[in-house]
Amino acid sequence: MCQDVGMLDDLELVFLLGHGYNALLGEFVRRLDAAGYGDLRPAHGFVFQALWGPGKTASELAEHLGVTKQAAGQLVDELERRGYVKRVAHPAGGRRRLVVLTEAAERHLRVAGETLHQLERELAEAIPLGELREGLVTLVRTLSGDHLPPLRPIW
């Protein structure tokens, strides 16, 4: 059921934050689709961010994302089929494997980063993002302490 945007002034903070997140994420996804990345979902972006750098095992990825090992494995399998990640031998040897980004994923991250920065610049013309960012940092620090909980992917 759709609600009138006039009701926004009366929404509790948690719902207002949720609607803001959904609106921003929706616009970001629309722009990435237009840039040729319609095969990716927001959950894939969470995986890419987690794997940036030396990579992780599937278990480490699951812990980082706050999902089950099975869910992380399914995401990795899907992204591997699409050519965005690959499994490589773990430097410590044994049967463990690292999941690492491919060049295709790194290209996507560059486009996604440019898209996010452009979107932020556009929004900054309409609203004081510095104040919003400071307020959100304070909110997260107050409620989460010194350790950020996993930011779970949206499926």
Domain boundaries, the chain: 23-125
Q: Which two tokens stand for residue 114?
A: 């440019």
- CATH architecture for segment(s) 23-125: Orthogonal Bundle (1.10)
- Tokens 């629309």 correspond to 30
Structure-block tokens of residue 134 = 């400071």
| pLDDT at residue 5 in the model | 67
What's the pLDDT at 154?
59
- Looking at residue 130, its amino acid is G
**For the chain, which residues score pLDDT lower than 70?**
1-3, 5-6, 152-155
Report the 10 Å Cβ neighbour count for 51.
23
pTM of the entire structure?
0.81
pLDDT of 153 reads 60
In this structure, the chain runs to a length of 155
- Tell me, what's the pLDDT at 2? 58
Q: What is the pLDDT of residues 122-155, one digit of tens each?
A: 999 999 988 888 999 999 899 988 887 777 665 5
Q: Write the single-letter amino acid at 142.
A: T
- Note the pLDDT of residue 150: 75
Picking from 16, 17, 38, the residue whose alpha carbon sits closest to that of residue 29 is: 38
